[in-house]
Structure 1
Amino acid sequence: MAAAAPTVSRSPPSLIPPAGPTPGGTLPLSSIDKTAAVRVSVDFIQVFPPAAGSGAVDQDAAVAAIRDGFARALVPYYPVAEPSPGDPVVDCTGEGVWFVEAAASCALADVNCLERPLLIPKEELLPRPPPEEKLEDIILMAQVTKFTCGGFAVGICFSHLVFDGQGAAQFLKAAGELARGLPAPSVAPVWDRDAIPDPPKPPRGPPPSFTAFSFVTQVAEISPESIARIKDEFKAASGGQTCSTFDAVTAVVFRCRAVAACLPDDAEVRLGFAASTRHLLHGVLPSVEGYYGNCVYPVGVTRSSKAMSEASVAEAVAVMREAKETLAARFRDWMRGGAADHYNVPLDYGTVTVSDWSRVGFNEVDYGFGEPGYVFTLNDDVNIVASVIYLKPPAPKRGIRLMLRCVEEPHAAAFAEELAKFA
């Protein structure tokens, strides 16, 4: 007989209120919150394999500690304890965050430690509110799933209107610290959204037109050795300049996709990514450390298909660095109200967007049973624009894992072949 398919039993969602009194009233969102993210919900899962040699974990006690950590974190992070962010404010009612407890019928090893393709439907691993609540109105939710091996999966859904990735990770780190018994978060939260200028907006053009593509989901690994080799190649070609891992990997992705997509030589190929601007907000925010709102600004690269396909890897890296070097001037210009609408990007097959989750902080969250062995996103069903997400591969692997929805089926094999040259 075939083994029974794994099942997940889940409790109804319940609200975890703050552990103590919190202020009421309304708080404004920043101009970046409102411009950069709109009402986008972000789903991801942290996988915690059982710790080797550390003995059995009392899973029920661990879940109770996590609930307590969230409740205590919601006191300093009281704006998060609202089921619905308003527009353009958060109404601080102190209701709490939605929380789901779940138990799987199997060990993590039985479902390949939640590697792709998932052997448990993602809907069973992610928290969802009661049916009367709108998902897009939720600021943050969590689901803790226990596995029979003693491991856990923690599914998180957060509103990009209130957090960027680094901000959401900051909150989860605080909840983990308090779940482990620390008296206070190591980083005090900062709201201060109204300190960020609200520059006059240029007149908006017509909304961008888009096509629904049929992107293929692919996974690729870029090894530490390949990353080091790309950095060395760029250093030799540039007279001793250095580049980051992001520069190296993004150059590879952009070039490989241009080769595989087979667009006409004169067609535009574009790459966009959201660059952090926290370092540019010193002197604007009362305190940058602890600020958990959106601090991102779009950076874009446009080249012809022929130029990008024929570029050496070192030349592609130089393109990335050139684009990043414009960030400070463009962002300061935007804050003064002098920049064009850089958020309006053509959504055709020539465009690909990149998100780097490898350094955001979700891999450093510890709820009391160690840091996760793997973190991965589940927002992989968008077919409007090609996308790449950079992840840390499951421990003990190193390098960068690429979660790709970049090309349609006719170009998938060629894209994988190009990327394999850097595995």
Structure 2
Amino acid sequence: MELCVTKSNGKLVAPSGPTLSTMLDLSRIDRLPGLRFNAQTLHVFEPIGPHGAAWPIIREALSNALVLYYPLAGRLSPDGSCIDCTSDGVWFVEATATCTLHSVGYFKDVAMISFDDLLPSHPLENQGINPFVLMQITEFDEGGFVMGLIFSHTICDGLGAAQFLTAVSECARGVDPLTVTPSWHRNFIPPSSTTIPPPHFTPPDYHLEQATIDIPLDQITQLKHKLMEESLQQCSTFELIAAILWMNRTRAIKSGSESKTKTMRLVFFADCPSLVSPPLPKGFYGNCFFPVTVTASNETLAQAPIIEVVRMTQGAKARLPEEFSDWIKEEIGQSTNEDPFAPQLGYETLFITDWRRLGFEQIDYGSGPAVHVVPTQGSAVIPSAIIGSVPRPDKGVRLMTWCVENHHLQPFLQSIPTILLPH
């Protein structure tokens, strides 16, 4: 069924009570130029209550949560180093759809999603508003709603965004006090004394194709057991999926005129709160992660068994504490003038992000957790993949990928073992 959405003009939702008016410094990671972008997600929910009226419930809960999370209602300073806690608010858009969620399959088929309809429209430029958070609640006939969220990565990583949304959901359900008290605590890393220029990146002329791949949980478990029996090597689901994806993508693009030996890179982002000393407080909601880079030649990846690629990933993870410490002490990147937070871009570099442990899928505004959470991708030229969960009630992993050109898409999908056939 065709989706037709009508949106309100949008308005600011401010904290419901008094908040501090102050300037708060951002951390060294928050200030990274590479984080000056917005993350966009869709969260699909069953109806709230007998009438399914989500707007007033979530709008009020949002306002109440902002009393404690007041920095999110502020604005970025002109030099990008701190937050001006103005309490102006976050942007909120109300919308209605002329169909039921059932008629669109609860958007389990990502290819049919009209993201522009379900994501909030930005304030007009002449309004002079640039909020950190923008939210749209789209109500559907017969109940159910989709939350479209745009979140500035400068102020929160995925864990931090999920912590804030959990606070909103607890306010919606009347939980008092909140389970977690937020903590700013952005001074956990000393400011940098040097500046490494970002690498030059010339946008390529290719366009990456989207592909969704569902992997049932029982098949993942069977493969992990098989690898354990053959090699006595244990691995996590992430390590297994990352290895298969990286290996089979490399095999797909290593053909014909592209058979020249090249260095392939896998980059994934590891959460680092446990590596900070002293430990970060429980309520910390800023950016605290580090990019882990694995390299191998396309020849090696094309011929290696899965377990060997898993070991490459595990070896890179084992080096994380030392590399993170060296970066804090500014002992990494100085000799080569390279910034680990700005890895070399191009078709040979694949970025993988794991969303399964962020907490989005456990958030409950009163009708149970989301049917599923859908990330959106802003770039068609940076190869990437997001590891999430298949929509409820099924169990397993859903891969959303933007990692190959059109002429590599079918070889990529066909090279993946039977357990990873596309959805």
Fold conserved between structures, TM > 0.5 = yes
**Any idea what SS the aligned residue of 1:175 has?**
helix
Decide whether the 8 Å contact of 2:362 with 2:369 is kept in 1: yes
**Any idea what SS the aligned residue of 2:141 has?**
coil
Decide whether the 8 Å contact of 2:120 with 2:134 is kept in 1: yes
Decide whether the 8 Å contact of 1:7 with 1:120 is kept in 2: no
Shift of 1:207: 2.3
Decide whether the 8 Å contact of 1:126 with 1:157 is kept in 2: yes
Q: 5 Å matches for 1:202-213? A: 203-204=196-197, 206-213=199-206
Q: Specify which of 391, 407, 413 is matched with residue 416 of structure 1.
A: 413
Q: 5 Å matches for 1:3-402? A: 5-35=2-32, 37-50=34-47, 57-60=50-53, 62-84=54-76, 86=78, 87-119=80-112, 121-132=114-125, 137-201=130-194, 203-204=196-197, 206-239=199-232, 241-262=233-254, 263-283=258-278, 285=280, 287=281, 289-340=282-333, 341-379=339-377, 381-402=378-399
Unmatched tracts of structure 1, length 5 or more: none
The alignment's C-alpha RMSD in Å is 2.1
Which amino acid counterpart does residue 387 of structure 2 have in structure 1? Y
**Any idea what SS the aligned residue of 1:208 has?**
coil
- Change in Cα spacing, 1:395 to 1:135, as seen in structure 2 (3 Å) is farther
Decide whether the 8 Å contact of 1:82 with 1:92 is kept in 2: yes
- Change in Cα spacing, 1:30 to 1:260, as seen in structure 2 (3 Å) is same
Which amino acid counterpart does residue 246 of structure 1 have in structure 2? F
Shift of 1:282: 4.3
Decide whether the 8 Å contact of 2:75 with 2:84 is kept in 1: no
Equivalent-residue separation in structure 2 for 1:279 and 1:136 (angstroms): 36
- Change in Cα spacing, 1:377 to 1:96, as seen in structure 2 (3 Å) is same
- Change in Cα spacing, 1:254 to 1:144, as seen in structure 2 (3 Å) is same
Higher mean displacement: 164-173 or 203-212: 203-212
Decide whether the 8 Å contact of 1:208 with 1:344 is kept in 2: no
- Change in Cα spacing, 1:409 to 1:135, as seen in structure 2 (3 Å) is farther
Percent of residue pairs identical: 34
Equivalent-residue separation in structure 1 for 2:110 and 2:245 (angstroms): 22
Equivalent-residue separation in structure 2 for 1:152 and 1:309 (angstroms): 44
Unmatched tracts of structure 2, length 5 or more: 334-338
How many equivalent residue pairs?
411
**Any idea what SS the aligned residue of 1:194 has?**
coil
Shift of 1:117: 4.6
Shift of 1:120: 5.3
Higher mean displacement: 264-273 or 154-163: 264-273
Structure 1, residues 150-193: CA drift from partner, whole Å, max 9, x if none? 11101110000000001000000000001111122201101011
**Any idea what SS the aligned residue of 2:213 has?**
strand
Equivalent-residue separation in structure 1 for 2:177 and 2:164 (angstroms): 12
- Change in Cα spacing, 1:272 to 1:301, as seen in structure 2 (3 Å) is same
**Any idea what SS the aligned residue of 1:220 has?**
strand
Decide whether the 8 Å contact of 1:85 with 1:139 is kept in 2: no
Shift of 1:83: 4.8
Structure 1, residues 224-275: CA drift from partner, whole Å, max 9, x if none? 2332233224433543x42111101101101110111114252111110111
Aligned to 2:401: 404
**Any idea what SS the aligned residue of 2:393 has?**
coil
- Change in Cα spacing, 1:234 to 1:324, as seen in structure 2 (3 Å) is farther
Structure 1, residues 279-298: CA drift from partner, whole Å, max 9, x if none? 1124154x2x1111001111
**Any idea what SS the aligned residue of 1:105 has?**
strand
